[in-house]
Structure 1
Amino acid sequence: MSLKQNVEGQIKSAMIAKDKVRLTALRAIKSMILLEETKEGFSGTLSADDEMKLLTKAAKQRKDSADIYEKQGRADLLEVELAELAVIQEFLPKALTDEELTFAIQEIINVTGAAGPKDMGKVMGVASKQLAGKAEGKAISEKVKSLLNS
């Protein structure tokens, strides 16, 4: 089942349950999907990678907003953003733990034959594709940098 069909089914359930926060988050995901599908030059349906990128982008937007609201002391808005983030994360694969991330990046370093910091671009290219949706880009970058420097 595609993400769009899954979200549409979840929207119906949220409407029946009168869950406003969940409904808002699901409608935001559907909106992003529709915008992507109606983009100029797009034909067909979204691939799994495209869906993952959309969900990751939506989650990052919620996290950034939550950070801003927390700094401003806006607990009311912070609560809404975190609730929407939780809904979006249901559709994302489980995030890697620090140990799993270290292991995955070490494997990528071994496969690519990276020897030091000068090979960071080579490792990041592979790591970003393999770990998309499972870890944030910033966390991947920091872990690659620390492993290549050691």
Structure 2
Amino acid sequence: MSELKERLRTDLTTAMKARDQVRVSTIRMALSAINTEEVAGEQHRELTDDEVVTVLGRESKKRRESAEAFDGAGRTELAERERAEQLVLADYLPAQLSDDDLTAIVAAAIAETGAQGPKQMGAVMKVVQPKVAGQADGRRVSGEVKRQLSGS
């Protein structure tokens, strides 16, 4: 079993004892998503820590998008719940890259690929994504690539 999955299980027990309902429900949801991923397809297998991080990142993104949707609909109490769940998931994700680090990684990728305009964004993204996996939101990465390729 991956270390991260084992940590989630241990933290679930701790949260249950502390009666922390938000943490309990969020960790249960995360473990459920991980288990679903493990049994998907023809072969059942244990996920690696990197794959668990990918699943948790996807779940965190869902929470952020849901919070934005609830805010737009005027449902602030539901938006706050989604944000609280996202904060719990953030405890298990790698630290996010700073803006300066992301800018440097994108600049290096542009130099490496020789990209010279927005039409070559895909080539730059192919180089950047593996370097920032789990450490920066895709929307943030693509925004920085667009900004640098458009020269602004």
Give SS of 1:127's match: helix
Q: CA deviation at 1:49?
A: 3.0
Distance change >3 Å, CA 9–CA 132, structure 1 → 2: same
CA distance in 1, matches of 2:137, 2:117: 22
Deviations 1:23-77 (Å, cap 9, x if unpaired)? 0110010000110111122343212332122011100110011111111222221
Displacement over 3 Å in runs of 4+: none
Residue aligning to 1:139? 140
Q: CA deviation at 1:109?
A: 1.6
Structure 1 stretches lacking a partner, 5+ long = none
1:13-28 matches, cutoff 5 A:
13-28=14-29
2:59 maps to 1:58: yes
**Matched AA of 2:85:** E
Contact 1:63 1:81 in 2 (8 A): yes
CA distance in 1, matches of 2:110, 2:102: 12
CA distance in 1, matches of 2:14, 2:147: 45
Normalised to the residue count of structure 2, the TM-score between the two structures is 0.91
CA distance in 1, matches of 2:127, 2:121: 10
2:62 maps to 1:81: no
CA distance in 2, matches of 1:38, 1:99: 39
Of stretches 38-47 and 59-68 in structure 1, the one that deviates more from structure 2 is: 38-47
CA distance in 1, matches of 2:43, 2:37: 8
Aligned residues: 150
**Matched AA of 1:115:** Q
CA distance in 2, matches of 1:104, 1:87: 28
